[in-house]
A and B are shown apart, each in its own frame.
Chain A
Amino acid sequence: MKKKLLFSLLYFTLSLFATRAQVATVSGKVVSEADNYALSGATIENKSSGAKTTSKADGTFAIEATKGQTLAVSFVGYTSQNVIVSGSYVSVALALFEKTGEEVVVTAFGVKKQKKSLGFATQEIQAKDLTRERSTSFVNGLQGKVAGLVINQSGGTPGAGASIILRGIKSLDPGSNNQPLIILDGLPISNSSNAGSVLPSAGSNSIGSNEQFSTTNRGLDINPDDIESISVLKGAGATALYGLEGANGVIVITTKKGVAGKLSLNLTASYAFDDVTKYPEIQKLYREGFNGRVRFNADGSPNRFQTYGPPVTDEVFYNNQNDFFDLGFRANHSLGLSAGNDKTTFYGSISSTNHKGIIPGSKLDRYTFRINPTIKINDKITLTTASTFITSETVKPSSGDKGVISALSFYTPTFNVNDYLNADGSMKVFSPGIIDNPRYVGIYSTMREKVFRAIGNISFNYKIAPWIMLDYKLGGDYYGENRTRIVPGPRYLGDPTILDLAAGTGGFINLERINFKDVNSNLFITLTKKLSKDFDGSLMLGNSVQSTTTDYTLNRGERFSAPNIYDIAYTTNLYANAQLTRKGLVAAFADAKIGYKNALFLNITGRNDWTSTLPKNNRSYFYPGASLSYVFTELHNITNKWLSYGKLRLSASQVGKDAAPYRNGPYYNSANGFPFGNIPGIVLSREYNDPNLKPERTNSYEGGLEVKLLNNRLGFDVSIYSQTSKEQIIGVPVSAPSGFDLYTTNAGSIRNDGIELLMNGIIVKSNKIKWNATLNWSKNKSEVLQIRDDIKEIVFSSSDGRIINKLVVGGSAGDLYGRKYQRNAGGQLLITPVTNSVTGKVEGLPIAEAAFTKVGNALPDWIGSIGTDVTWKNITLSGLLEYKKGGDLYDVGLRNRIRNGTDKTTENRYQSVIFNGALANGTPNTLPVYLDEIFYRSENNYNGAAEVLLQDASWLRLRNVTLSYNLTSKLLSKTKIIKGASISASANNFILWTPYKGFDPESTSYGSGSNAFGFTGFNVPGTSNYVFSLNINL
């Protein structure tokens, strides 16, 4: 496969130079009407001769044509235009979203369809919008630009993962994947987040692997500058053809293609600074200590752990929460190259991203290389290959409990956190053995991930007859990921400052190796036929085969035996683990479409999947779908100046989802912690899998209305959907005395209902000024309809157990439970007299309930954004304002800061207050409470109550403001080399309004690869970026 690819690449490269240029042409340029942005890859067709070409990176093209002939110019996302040739130069400005219906969008399997024929909602993001913020990952570039799409960030460390949720959570199971499928060049690629296993055998490490290193989602490997457009297929109607792979929605990436003409180069350079967006407020009145005094150990050494000491007098006070962070810096260089003739076109790119994080020592270096030749073998056969190679190295600090941010939240302000090194190379820390210096941890206890990835595909396009098209694609996605986590042991014999992370193990090294391989084959035949004067019909028949293998090995060595060398060969205890996971999927599908008068379209789809992960007799399953598009303005010839376009769409479809691999058995496990000495132990698995597992099914219904008003100046697009996922494959927790803990079976259903609104308007349209605005708004509501008759709830990862995320029948995905303050029947705070163990006085305390009740929900009530572009001459100013309503968050960092007396809220201390409430007998409370550390640290009242711990994480943020300047062609023509250039400056995520205390609430602990929501505090905080970029076309 690899050899073949290489050979064909060589062939194409050679043929590129062997071809000759054309003569007698009409030249021209295609730009976007809104902002004069050059459109590369637009199709220009001579309607008379049938000759076709595409525009180059700078928008220019050349085509054989004579005066009077008509050129049809089309481009994804834009309205097609017919231009009559009147001279030797043609200038075409295509309008975006203006004349609706004629624009084409990319749908399932990369098939371009007229938007008006679609009976379901899709949304397209163009390259210039996607890359405006110059995000390292395309996933982050989608933020705030698509209605119904929620992105969960996992923090500001370079390479931090992000997860995407489209139209709500569809699978209840904690281990289930709820993320959309990513399609690149028509074939799926992996966007997985492999949390792996980063834990040692003993010690006080954070429990989750995921939260410790903000596991990267592999979508990071794609160079955003290679992307031409992204089409987001949201509902089951749009994704039905993808079957179970598309159950969570599909993100279809269309890459840039080479265009015929002379070699053209596109160079982009951007430089960005990262800074923490928002900091928690700390108290500045008290120094380290306990009970208001400086504290000492029994042996006379200072015990500085808490910050409940005496008032600050003239000690230096450090703002560690701020000073700890560096200014991050990111440089991105990307070179795109395009060339070709009418037979062969070529696109290639190289890019580099070098990102230094805000935590000292953290970084990401990514290099990508892509070649994408297309060859027209003859009029009937076109051959395309694309190869992408990515290599990256990421260094992430230990986060999670005991990690950098956890240690920082405890760090007392009377010691400088950045003074981290002793002369002998050991850690300098204010409270040795109890808290680590986060800077030292960040530098010396890291995870280094090295990735090599190759994505390649070869595609044949064979026009058997004018009405039969055959398409075949074969693709491979391979990556190898080497992760090395090091927690240093003592630096020398008797080093007193052994890291908290190394307690119990004497330091350890984790070597994880992940080899991922995915091979895909797609075949489809499309038949198109005009059935009568009014009816058009098309039928697509397809087959796809996918085989995925993940090979994981872990070697861990514990207890370093020699100082200053952290290699597995110098460890005493070795542990190893391996897991090979294989999965296969075969599918056959059909898509029939019938159009009436080019205004009413009925689309029927069907797909049958055969999956390896279900029992043989259940592994084949079929699901149907139907959608209708009714362009009423066209069908009934409604045209007036108010209503320019109107379309109604309806769709109903079903998609399925299979199980994770190996949900069969029975299997037996190596006993936990074994071998014991050298004796192995084998035990029963705690999981039992239903031998009759069936696929999950999601039934979706969607309706939408699209209208254009006021001569296309104002557009509305509303979608309403309801999707019910039934017979979910859930690991149902069962009573341990039954013999196991988890019973994986078909159980439970969840319904997601939602509404998405898209509005765009052209506010000002004159020769000099163009001003557009877009609004995205979406709301998704979910309800757990059923789990299992005998199961009431599913509890997700619960961090420290003070706030937990669980699914309860009748509740919603993302529901958070906590312990509220006890209240009496009248709703008054119930005050309990409790003896203060230090003062011996009876105090009137509000106490948290023992029972957990619903206290919030982690998912937003709704999200909305407003984007706008103003172009004046060559200057464009654009902005994106985003609002998230609701979505509660438990910040474990706040808990720590309160517990340790560093948070601003604890500044109010060492005084007596009387809580407004009533005693059990109903009399008003008169008992004061002394606000000391016992009060703030108590898990059963202040520091355990949901009212204190759970915060509303609604926010309004200025996601982006960009000012760009297009250098005029007049200016550039003097250079003779430069065809186009622009410079821009952006600020991303730099203004944030939120009631939330703490770092930017956008990042959560379990960002990617997890279904647990609502927790934060241990991850590297989110950042604001200030970007300067330059784009040159040669």
Chain B
Amino acid sequence: MKKIFIKHSFFLLLLLNIVSCKKILDVNQNPNKATDITLPGLLPAVIEATSNNHYTTANSTCIFAQQLAAYSGGPLSIDRNNNVRLSTPFTTIYSNTLNNVMAMINLAKEKQAPHYEGMGKILLALNLGLATDVFGNIPYSEAFKGTANLSPKYDKQEDIYTAIQTLLSEAITLLGQPVGVNKPTTDDLSYAGNASRWIKLANVLKARYALHLTKSGAVAAANQALTFLAAGGFTSNADDFQLNYNSRNLNPWHRNIAIGTTTGNFTITHSRKFLDGMNGITYPGIIDPRLPLIADKGTAATFNGIVNGTGVNGNTNITANTFFAKDISPIIMVSYAEQKLIEAEANFLVNAGTTTSTGSTAACYAAYRVAIGTNMDKIGVTTINRDAYLALPLVDVTAAGIKLEHIMREKFIALYLNPEVWTDVRRYDYNNTIFRGIAIPTSQDPLMGAQFIRRSLYPLDEIAKNPNATIEESAIVAPTGSLKLAAKLWWDQ
């Protein structure tokens, strides 16, 4: 009896064994991962990623522009221009953003969602702009093809600039179409689905990238910029393209820099050049009311930035007490103030303005003043302080007395922590009559031959993986007596 029982149960088990094999083997589907992607899932992710790219890029480029300076370690190497290869922005732009933007554009096309497609194209243009202004030639036309092309070639910067303008034009057309059933709403973290604001953004970006080309014809570039703005740009700070963070999704400057200052992990802070320009040292008589909103000096008596390249002797920090590095602070990617300063500079250049000339039109001067006021309103300067600043003799220079220096000084401050400032600095060749106080960083890599940094090299990681990166890098020609880091990008030549 017992024997039979055992025998039977044994064969039963054996049978179960064979039957269950198929069931046991067909289990390779991950139940915790999505197998479909959606437009409302992609849009917020790419807006957040684009905002983060502004942080990852500015983290180094604002050091080159000498808004910021480094304390020690890796950032100090960057400040001293030692073998600069900005791998973080390259990674965040290519790995976290552009691939998803491309997926969003393709999906929007497939789902006939013109507004999503338009937003995607604007975000694509903006991110390509961030990348090309740091790295010059970058992969685009052969990129994002997966296994079909694991080593995409690099496109010329000139072609990237053409693509940026085309993408923005296409976006304007798409956003002008009826929205259809796929309507972006709260998933549009910046504009809540407001297509007209996206169109304004596209126009401002067209103007921005047009004005980058001043070196190949300042008047033409400026005219181009003004034409784009005339098509309809921002009209107030409310139009600013920014991302507001919250107490759960922390502002990257807060998360990566300000928190560190509370635990002794000091990485980067303000440059001496930057703060000196605001506290009456470079410009005696100008005490900028934005200063305490930008820099936290603790209990120190004066605002002292770090002289770029030294790593020491500063007393300010980027902390949660400043406007830009609270947990809930926005990252301002494109602002009304920037637009007004583009307008001011373009008008200045169109009217025969040069780096040394004085005086321009009323339109130029008005744009300059609106930019100052609007920026001060944005970051919380009181009306009294704002008006007092606008009345300072060195600010209230009149249309007849305005110089490029005034416009660019204001842009340097208004675009605090925006990667655009390094482009401006390079467009005017680190000219220290326009960007007063800018100088070769102390202890700069001696092989740089005391020349300013003009670009980043490609990340070693990318060079190891993509043979085309090696080809690109070897094609860069180092200026006489210096390194490839001093080689000018296409628009800088």
List, in ascending order, chain B residues with CB within 8 A of A543's CB. Answer: 17
Docked pose: A835 CA to B298 CA in angstroms: 30
Contact with B along A656-671 (1 / 0, CB 8 A): 0000011011111111
A664: contacting residue among B6, B28, B143, CB under 8 A: B28
A32 within 8 A of B: no
Q: Taking A547-B24, A610-B21 as contacts, is the C-beta distance between A738 and B44 under 8 angstroms? A: no
CB of B99 within 8 A of CB of A740, answer yes
Q: Which residue of B lies closest to A671 (CB)?
A: B45
CB of B36 within 8 A of CB of A460, answer no
Docked pose: A672 CA to B46 CA in angstroms: 11
List, in ascending order, chain B residues with CB within 8 A of A584's CB. Answer: 23-27
CB of A683 within 8 A of CB of B45, answer yes
B480 within 8 A of A: no
CB of B6 within 8 A of CB of A790, answer no
CB of B44 within 8 A of CB of A679, answer yes
Q: Taking A572-B247, A679-B186, A939-B73 as contacts, is the C-beta distance between A736 and B32 under 8 angstroms? A: no
B189: contacting residue among A610, A679, A683, A684, CB under 8 A: A679
B265 within 8 A of A: yes
CB of A204 within 8 A of CB of B35, answer no
B259: contacting residue among A503, A665, A673, A682, CB under 8 A: A503
Contact with B along A183-214 (1 / 0, CB 8 A): 00000000000000000011110000000000
List, in ascending order, chain A residues with CB within 8 A of B259's CB. Answer: 202-204, 503-504
CB of B3 within 8 A of CB of A578, answer no
The segment from A336-344, A431-439, A984-992 that touches chain B is A431-439
A668: contacting residue among B35, B83, B96, B311, CB under 8 A: B35
Q: Which residue of A lies closest to B93 (CB)?
A: A736
Within 8 A of B (CB), among A656-703: 661-662, 664-674, 676-677, 679-686, 688, 690
CB of B310 within 8 A of CB of A837, answer yes
Contact with B along A14-46 (1 / 0, CB 8 A): 000000000000000000000000000000000
Contact with B along A914-952 (1 / 0, CB 8 A): 000000000000000000000001011000000000000
List, in ascending order, chain A residues with CB within 8 A of B74's CB. Answer: 939
CB of B246 within 8 A of CB of A677, answer yes
Docked pose: A110 CA to B104 CA in angstroms: 56
CB of B10 within 8 A of CB of A472, answer yes
Docked pose: A204 CA to B333 CA in angstroms: 26
B312: contacting residue among A662, A664, A837, CB under 8 A: A837
Q: How large is the interface on B (under 10, 10 to 19, 20 to 34, 35 or more residues)?
A: 35 or more
Docked pose: A305 CA to B71 CA in angstroms: 15
Q: Which residue of B lies closest to A838 (CB)?
A: B312
A465 within 8 A of B: no
The segment from A230-238, A611-619, A624-632 that touches chain B is A611-619
Count chain A CB atoms within 10 A of each CB in B17, B27, B48, B466 and give the residue with the most: B27
Docked pose: A1025 CA to B49 CA in angstroms: 52
B474 within 8 A of A: no
Q: How far is the CB of A298 from chain B (nearest CB, A)?
A: 4
A545 within 8 A of B: yes
Q: How large is the interface on A (under 10, 10 to 19, 20 to 34, 35 or more residues)?
A: 35 or more
B72 within 8 A of A: yes
List, in ascending order, chain B residues with CB within 8 A of A674's CB. Answer: 44-45, 48, 249
List, in ascending order, chain B residues with CB within 8 A of A545's CB. Answer: 17, 20-21, 24
Q: Which residue of B lies closest to A381 (CB)?
A: B6
Contact with A along B302-344 (1 / 0, CB 8 A): 0000000011100100000000000000000000000000000
CB of A741 within 8 A of CB of B41, answer no
Q: Taking A736-B462, A792-B464 as contacts, is the C-beta distance between A613 and B28 under 8 angstroms? A: yes
List, in ascending order, chain A residues with CB within 8 A of B44's CB. Answer: 671, 674, 676, 679-681
CB of A736 within 8 A of CB of B264, answer no
Q: Which residue of B lies closest to A835 (CB)?
A: B443
B478 within 8 A of A: no
CB of A682 within 8 A of CB of B6, answer no
The segment from B148-156, B228-236, B277-285, B351-359 that touches chain A is B148-156
Count chain A CB atoms within 10 A of each CB in B23, B45, B265, B467 and give the residue with the most: B45
Q: How far is the CB of B455 from chain A (nearest CB, A)?
A: 17
Docked pose: A498 CA to B76 CA in angstroms: 28
Contact with A along B448-462 (1 / 0, CB 8 A): 000000000000011
CB of A433 within 8 A of CB of B264, answer yes
Docked pose: A617 CA to B174 CA in angstroms: 45
B143: contacting residue among A378, A585, A673, A739, CB under 8 A: A739
CB of A735 within 8 A of CB of B469, answer yes
Q: How far is the CB of A1000 from chain B (nearest CB, A)?
A: 29
Q: Which residue of A lies closest to B442 (CB)?
A: A837
CB of B299 within 8 A of CB of A738, answer no
CB of B263 within 8 A of CB of A738, answer no
B424 within 8 A of A: no
CB of A460 within 8 A of CB of B187, answer no
CB of A580 within 8 A of CB of B32, answer yes
Within 8 A of A (CB), among B266-308: 297-300
List, in ascending order, chain B residues with CB within 8 A of A940's CB. Answer: 77, 82
Q: How far is the CB of B296 from chain A (nearest CB, A)?
A: 11
Q: Which residue of B lies closest to A573 (CB)?
A: B248
CB of B28 within 8 A of CB of A736, answer no
Contact with B along A733-755 (1 / 0, CB 8 A): 11111111101000000000000
List, in ascending order, chain B residues with CB within 8 A of A299's CB. Answer: 298-299
A791 within 8 A of B: yes
Q: Which residue of A lies closest to B34 (CB)?
A: A668
Q: Taking A298-B300, A739-B146 as contacts, is the C-beta distance between A610 and B25 under 8 angstroms? A: yes
A738: contacting residue among B13, B100, B151, CB under 8 A: B151
Q: How far is the CB of A468 from chain B (nearest CB, A)?
A: 14
A850 within 8 A of B: yes
Q: Which residue of B lies closest to A670 (CB)?
A: B34
Within 8 A of A (CB), among B69-120: 72-74, 76-77, 82-83, 90-91, 94-96, 98-100, 102-103
Q: Taking A431-B264, A434-B264, A504-B259 as contacts, is the C-beta distance between A667 and B249 under 8 angstroms? A: no
List, in ascending order, chain A residues with CB within 8 A of B428's CB. Answer: none
A377 within 8 A of B: yes
Q: How far is the CB of A435 from chain B (nearest CB, A)?
A: 7
B380 within 8 A of A: no
CB of A676 within 8 A of CB of B249, answer yes
A58 within 8 A of B: no
CB of A298 within 8 A of CB of B299, answer yes
B14 within 8 A of A: yes
CB of A662 within 8 A of CB of B28, answer yes
CB of B25 within 8 A of CB of A790, answer no
Contact with B along A782-818 (1 / 0, CB 8 A): 0000000011110100000000000000000000000
Q: How far is the CB of A463 from chain B (nearest CB, A)?
A: 13
A736: contacting residue among B31, B91, B103, B297, CB under 8 A: B91
CB of B310 within 8 A of CB of A738, answer no
Can you offer 24 A-B residue contacts whose CB atoms are under 8 A? A202-B250, A298-B299, A381-B6, A383-B6, A462-B10, A503-B260, A521-B13, A612-B25, A619-B25, A661-B27, A662-B30, A671-B44, A673-B249, A677-B248, A681-B42, A685-B33, A735-B466, A738-B143, A738-B144, A738-B151, A850-B83, A939-B73, A939-B74, A940-B77
Contacts from A to B (Cβ < 8 Å): 201-204, 297-299, 305, 377-378, 381, 383, 431, 433-435, 460, 462, 472, 474, 498, 500, 503-504, 521, 523, 543, 545-547, 559, 572-573, 578-580, 582-586, 610-613, 619, 661-662, 664-674, 676-677, 679-686, 688, 690, 733-741, 743, 790-793, 795, 832, 834-835, 837-838, 850, 937, 939-940
Contacts from B to A (Cβ < 8 Å): 2-3, 6, 10, 13-14, 17, 20-21, 23-38, 41-42, 44-45, 48-49, 72-74, 76-77, 82-83, 90-91, 94-96, 98-100, 102-103, 138-139, 143-147, 149-152, 186-187, 189, 246-250, 255, 259-260, 262-265, 297-300, 310-312, 315, 442-443, 446, 461-462, 464-467, 469
Please give 20 more A-B residue pairs, beta carbons under 8 A apart, in addition to A377-B3, A735-B150.
A201-B250, A202-B250, A297-B298, A381-B3, A462-B10, A503-B263, A521-B13, A545-B24, A578-B32, A619-B25, A664-B30, A665-B30, A674-B45, A679-B189, A680-B41, A690-B147, A735-B139, A834-B443, A937-B72, A940-B82
